[in-house]
Structure 1
Amino acid sequence: MVMCKPSDHDVAIEEKFSKLQQVLIQTSNDTSNCLKLLKKHLSDYDNRNGNHFTNTATRFMRTDMRNAKDTAMDLKHVAHDINKNQ
């Protein structure tokens, strides 16, 4: 059985995909952490200003924060797919 040695081009491509995977995971993690901090700050704002239940900044931003969180998770899934397909 003859084993083919990967070419320099193949190695370079693999390295680029590996770096892409790392960037996607880091971006996803950074986004999630930022959203957690935003939620905390919005909650603190609501508490300081006496906003309760329906008229809160947190509730107003909830859908957008969920969408951003879902997008961050999609990035992480793409990163894992890249890893599987290498």
Structure 2
Amino acid sequence: MDHVILISQVIMSLALILVFVRIVRGPSLPDRVVALELFSTTIVGLVAVYTIKTGVASFLDAAIVIALMGFLASIGFARFLERGGPRDD
């Protein structure tokens, strides 16, 4: 069981690095917004795996808060773009 948790943490950490590169180098603002959503989703996954590893259920509350903040950030960016904010695509 510990090997599966370690492998999943390593894979998600690599995904975080790749998503961060997409956030920095993204060719357009919508690409960066999608990458930011994926970043928060991957963080939620890491917190969930850590919760399974430690057995402390209160970490799931933190994961829910992170997921809600990522969702609200995506809604905010979408609204900003809908209202004619700066676009570079």
TM range (shorter): 0.5 to 0.7
Structure 1 equivalent of residue 69 of structure 2: 67
1:69: how far off?
Answer: 2.3
1:61: how far off?
Answer: 4.4
TM-score by length of 1: 0.54
Structure 1 equivalent of residue 49 of structure 2: 44
TM-score by length of 2: 0.52
Aligned residues: 58
Bigger radius of gyration among the two: 1
Q: Distance in 2 between matches of 1:45 and 1:64?
A: 14
List 4+ stretches of structure 1 deviating above 6 A. none
Contact 1:32 1:69 in 2 (8 A): yes
- Which ranges of structure 1 fall in alignment gaps of 5 or more residues? 1-21
Ranked by relative contact order (alpha carbons within 8 Å, sequence separation 6 or more), the top structure is 1
**Over aligned residues, Cα RMSD in angstroms?**
2.1
Q: Distance in 2 between matches of 1:82 and 1:71?
A: 17
